Structure 1
Amino acid sequence: MKKKPKSVKMWWNEIKQHRYIKSIIVFLTAVFLYVMMLGNVIPEQLDIHLSDTAEEDIRSPITIENRQATEQLQSEAVDNVEPNYVLKQNYAETQGGRVNDIFELVIQVKKDQTTSESDSEEDEEVDEEERLEESLNSVKDALSSGTSNQLSDETIITLLETSESQLVLAKEATSNTVFEVMSEQIEAGDLQEARDKVDGLINISTVSNRLRDAMVEVGQFAIIPNYVYDRDSTERLREEASENVEPVMIREGQLLVQQGDVINNEMYAQLKLVGLLDESLNFYPYIGLGLFVMIIMGMMLYFIQESNTTVKNNNSHFLMFILVFVIVTCLMKVTSYTELINIAGVGYVVPVAAGTMLLTLLLNTRIALFSSVLYAIVGTVLYSQDGASSFNVTYGFYLLVSSLAGALFLDTSNRITRLLKAGFLVACINVIAVLTLLFIKGLQHNWIEVGSHVASAAFSGIAAAILTIGLLPFFETGFSILSVSKLIELSNPNHPLLRKILTEAPGTYHHSVVVGNLAEAACERLGENGLLARVGAYYHDVGKTKRPHFFIENQLRQDNPHDKISPQLSTTIIISHPYDGADLLREYKMPKEIVDIAEQHHGTSLLKYFYHKANQDVEQPLPESQFRYPGPKPQNKVACIVAIADSVEAAVRSMSKPTPDKIEAMVNKIIKEKLEDGQFDESEITLRELNDIALSMLETLKGTFHQRIEYPDEMKKGGKEHDDTRGNHGRDEHTNK
Structure 2
Amino acid sequence: MKNFQRQFSKIRNLLEITFFRIVLFILVGAILYGAMFSNIKPEKLDLNLFSIAEKTIRSPITIEDKESTEKKRREALDQVQDVYTLKKEYTQNRVDLITSIFQSASEVNEEIREELERANRDGNNTVAEPPINEKLKRLKAKLTENVAKDISDPVFLAILQASKDELSIAKDLTVTAINNMMSNRIPADEVENAKKRVEEELKYTSLSGNLKNAAIELGRYAIIQNEFYDSAATEELRQQTIESIDPVKVLQGQIIVEEGQLISRDVYRQLELVGMLDNENSFQPFFGLGVLIFVLLSAVYYYFYELDVPNETKQNYLLLYSLVLIIATALMKTISLFQAFDDSEIGYIFPAAMGTMIIKILIDERPAILLTIMMAVCGSIIFNGGFTGTFHISIGIYILCSGLAGVLFLSKHNHRSKILQAGLFVSAVNVVVILSLIFLQNGQYSGFDYGLYFTVALISGIASAVLTIGFLPFFEVGFGILSTMKLIELSNPNHPLLRKILTEAPGTYHHSIMVANLAETACEAIGANGLLARVGCYYHDIGKTKRPQFFIENQMNIENPHDRLNPKVSRNIIIAHATDGADMLRKHRMPKEIVDIAEQHHGTTLLKFFYHKVKESEEDVKEEDYRYPGPKPQSKEAAIIGIADSVEAAVRSMSHPTSKQIEQLVKQIIADRLQDGQFNECDITLKELTTVSETLCATLNGIFHSRIEYPEMTKQKVKEA
Q: TM-score, with normalisation over the residues of structure 2?
A: 0.78
Tell me which residue corresponds to 1:460: 460
Instruction: Quote the Cα distance in structure 1 between the aligned partners of 2:32 and 2:330.
Output: 10
User: Where in structure 1 are there 5+ consecutive unaligned residues?
Assistant: 101-146, 148-154, 719-737
Do the aligned partners of 1:659 and 1:707 also contact (CA within 8 Å) in 2? no
| 1:502-651 → structure 2 map (5 Å cutoff) | 502=502, 505-556=505-556, 557-561=558-562, 563-567=564-568, 569-618=569-618, 622-651=621-650
Residues 1:383 and 2:383 aligned together: yes
Alpha-carbon shift at residue 403 of structure 1 (Å): 0.7
Whether the 8 Å CA contact 2:285–2:389 is kept in 1: the answer is no
Structure 2: give runs of 5+ residues left out of the alignment.
101-145, 162-166
Counterpart contact for 2:95–2:178, Cα < 8 Å: no
Query: Is the aligned partner of 1:451 residue 2:438?
Result: no
Q: Deviations over 1:363-383 (max 9, x none)?
A: 223332333223222222222
- Which residue matches 1:371? 371
Following superposition, the deviation at residue 307 of structure 1 comes to 5.3
Indicate how the Cα distance of structure 1 residues 19 and 252 shifts in structure 2: closer, same or farther if over 3 A, else same: closer
**Distance in 1 between residues matched to 2:363 and 2:449, nearest whole Å:** 39
Compared CA separation, residues 677 and 93, structure 1 to 2 (3 A) = same
Provide, for residues 176-216 of structure 1, a one-character-per-residue CA deviation record: whole Å limited to 9, x for no partner. 99998796464333455568899999999999xxxx9xxx9
Tell me how far apart the structure 1 counterparts of residues 706 and 252 of structure 2 sit (CA, whole Å). Answer: 72
Structure 2 contact 360–410 (Cα < 8 Å) conserved: yes
Q: Check 1:305–1:280 CA distance in 2 against 1; reply closer, same or farther (3 A cut).
A: same
Q: Secondary structure at the match of 2:357?
A: helix
Mapped to 1, the partners of 2:176 and 2:492 lie a distance apart of: 120
**What does residue range 397-436 of structure 1 map to in structure 2 within 5 Å?**
397-411=397-411, 415=415, 417-436=417-436
Aligned residue in 1 for 2:440: 440
Matched, 1:282 2:299: no
Aligned residue in 2 for 1:694: 696
1:557-604 CA distances to partner (integer Å, 9 max, x unpaired)?
23524643244x543443333223223322332211011101110112
* Counterpart AA for 1:269: R
Structure 1 equivalent of residue 483 of structure 2 = 483
Counterpart AA for 1:40? N
For residues 686-736 of structure 1, what are the alpha-carbon distances to aligned partners after superposition, in whole Å with 9 as ceiling and x for unaligned? 134313431454156338999897587777777xxxxxxxxxxxxxxxxxx
Aligned-residue offset at 1:50: 1.6
Structure 2 CA distance for aligned equivalents of residues 8 and 258 of structure 1: 56
Secondary structure of the residue that 1:409 maps to in structure 2? helix
1:85 aligns with 2:84: yes
Change (3 A) 1:10 1:274: closer
Q: Against the structure 1 CA distance between its residues 243 and 413, is the aligned structure 2 distance closer, same or farther, given a 3 Å change threshold?
A: closer
Match of 1:236 in 2: 236
Percent identity, aligned pairs only? 43
Structure-2 change in CA distance of 1:64 and 1:625 (3 Å): same
CA contact (8 A) 1:74 1:242 kept: yes
Distance 1:205 1:470, change over 3 A: closer
**Structure 1 counterpart of 2:565, one-letter code:** K
What is the CA–CA distance in structure 2 between the aligned matches of 1:14 and 1:705, rounded to whole Å? 57
Q: In the superposition, relative to structure 1, how do residues 169 and 682 fare at CA in structure 2: closer, same or farther (>3 Å)?
A: farther
Q: Which residue of 1 aligns with 2:113?
A: none
CA contact (8 A) 1:522 1:697 kept: no
Q: Which moved more, 1:545-554 or 1:403-412?
A: 545-554
Cα distance in 1, alignment partners of residues 312 and 57 from structure 2: 48
* Match of residue 123 from structure 2: none
Q: Partner of 2:129 in structure 1? A: none
Are 2:366 and 1:351 aligned? no
Secondary structure in 2 matching 1:86: strand
Amino acid in the other structure paired with 1:701: I
Matching of residue 37 in structure 1 with residue 39 in structure 2 = no
CA distance in 1, matches of 2:634, 2:692: 15
- Cα distance in 2 between the residues matched to 1:531 and 1:325: 28
* SS across alignment from 1:564: coil
Equivalent residue number for residue 317 of structure 1: 317
Tell me, in whole angstroms, the C-alpha distance in 2 between the residues paired with 1:676 and 1:537.
Answer: 24
What amino acid maps onto 1:518 in structure 2? L
Q: Deviations over 1:422-464 (max 9, x none)?
A: 2111111111111111122222211110010011001111111
Compute the displacement of 1:639 (Å).
0.8
The 8 Å contact of residues 381 and 390 in structure 2, kept in 1 or not, is answered as yes
Aligned partners of 1:713, 1:204: CA distance in 2, in Å? Answer: 157
Shift of 1:276: 1.8
More displaced stretch, 482-491 vs 654-663: 654-663
Q: In the alignment, what sits opposite 2:48?
A: 49
Determine the C-alpha separation between the residues in 2 that align with 1:95 and 1:230: 22
Superposed CA offset, 1:261-289 (max 9, x none): 11111111222222222334111111211
- In 2, Cα distance between equivalents of 1:657 and 1:177: 133
Cα separation, partners in 2 of 1:89 and 1:506, compared to 1, 3 Å = closer
Aligned to 2:262: 262
Q: Is the contact between residue 346 and residue 453 of structure 1 (CA under 8 Å) also seen in structure 2?
A: no
Q: Distance in 1 between matches of 2:462 and 2:338?
A: 18
Computed over aligned residues only, the root mean square deviation of the Cα atoms, in angstroms, reads 4.5
Instruction: Check 1:445–1:692 CA distance in 2 against 1; reply closer, same or farther (3 A cut).
Output: farther
Task: Give secondary structure in 1 for the equivalent of 2:342.
Answer: coil
Task: Give the C-alpha shift of residue 19 in structure 1.
Answer: 4.5
Aligned to 1:671: 670
The 2-side partners of 1:627 and 1:353 are apart by 54
Counterpart residue type for residue 368 of structure 2: A
Distance 2:263 2:198 in 1: 67
Q: Is residue 297 from structure 1 mapped to residue 297 from structure 2 by the alignment?
A: yes
Instruction: Answer with 354-363 or 452-461: which moved more.
Output: 354-363
| Counterparts of 1:445 and 1:169, CA distance in 2 | 96
- With 226-235 and 427-436 compared, the bigger mean Cα shift is at 226-235
Structure 1: how far apart are the matches of 2:472 and 2:6?
A: 28
Count of equivalent residues = 660
